[in-house]
Amino acid sequence: MTRLTQLRDDHPETFPDPAQAVRDPNGLLAFGGDLSPQRLIAAYSQGIFPWYSQGDPLLWWSPDPRCIFATDGVHISRRLARALRHSEWTLSMDHAFTRVMRECAAPRAGEPGTWITEDMLAAYTRLHELGHAHSLEVWNGDALVGGIYGVAIGRAFSAESMFSRATDASKAALIALCRILHGWGFPLLDAQVPNPHLQRMGAISLPRADYLQRLRKLVAQPGPASWQLPFTRVSGLA
């Protein structure tokens, strides 16, 4: 039986090799530690992320295979393209980071709870303040109807969660984020764990070793100087 590594409080940048992660549940690597900026930045730089429920130990994961999008490879159906062309929505980046996180944490039909705890909200808001966590928002007038957020290190972006309060709003957020990232020289977006919805939109699975090899090169490259963008019409995506 594999024993999980307990992270040390005095070494926030030290993680076990992702190859040591267990197969069942897929990718579980370590437990303990904290959600300090130093530990989170070190984790994402090594292809590791936290995922746990309220009341459970802090768990760290690196699944194999890894779900990713090529930023120029998101699938847009003909129906979705028509909807986007006629949309009155607008897009922004980093205008409502904490609101996006809270919307992602809100209860969803058929799901028992959320893994986005108050501790996670505080930790990623701090990462946002430090320039390492970012959000893309979809607006219908003054109403926030969709969004996505994640962590950026160099030219690597790991998406954490997205939400929708209107049909196709989360899809618009994902498409817009990938378009912007591609223009900035980010070749892929990490979606962490596959699901049918992501796969229908063009997500693919990479062996963990291949993903980590790409990640090491991307985190060493400079990222954009600013993530703030002018408000843009969604109709320009189609």
Per-residue pLDDT of the chain (238 residues; tens, 9 = 90+): 467 899 988 888 999 999 999 999 999 999 999 999 999 999 999 999 999 988 889 999 999 999 999 999 999 999 999 999 999 999 999 999 999 999 999 976 655 557 899 999 999 999 999 999 999 999 999 999 999 999 999 999 999 999 999 999 999 999 999 999 999 999 999 999 989 989 999 999 999 999 999 999 999 999 999 998 888 999 888 6
d(CA 3, CA 34): 20
Confidence (pLDDT) at 228:
84
The residue behind tokens 């909807």 is 83
Peptide bond into 230 cis (omega under 30): no
- Give ranges for CATH 3.40.630.70 in the chain: 67-237
For domain 5-63, give the fold.
Alpha-Beta Plaits (3.30.70)
Confidence (pLDDT) at 107:
77
d(CA 131, CA 151): 9
- Give ranges for CATH 3.30.70.3550 in the chain: 5-63
The residue behind tokens 């409502």 is 96
Confidence (pLDDT) at 229:
82
d(CA 214, CA 193): 17
Strand ranges in 59-142 using DSSP code E only, listed in sequence order = 59-61, 66-70, 90-93, 133-140
d(CA 237, CA 82): 10
Q: Which residues of 121-153 are buried (b: 16+ CB within 10 A; e: fewer)?
A: eebbeebbeeebbbbbbbbbeeebbbbbbbbbb
**How many alpha carbons fall within 13 Å on the CB side of residue 12?**
9
Beta bridge partners of 67: 192, 205
CATH class of 67-237: alpha beta
Cα of 180 vs its chain's centroid, Å: 15
Confidence (pLDDT) at 53:
86
List the one residue out of 162, 160, 151, 210 whose CA is nearest residue 186. Answer: 151
Confidence (pLDDT) at 192:
95
d(CA 33, CA 223): 28
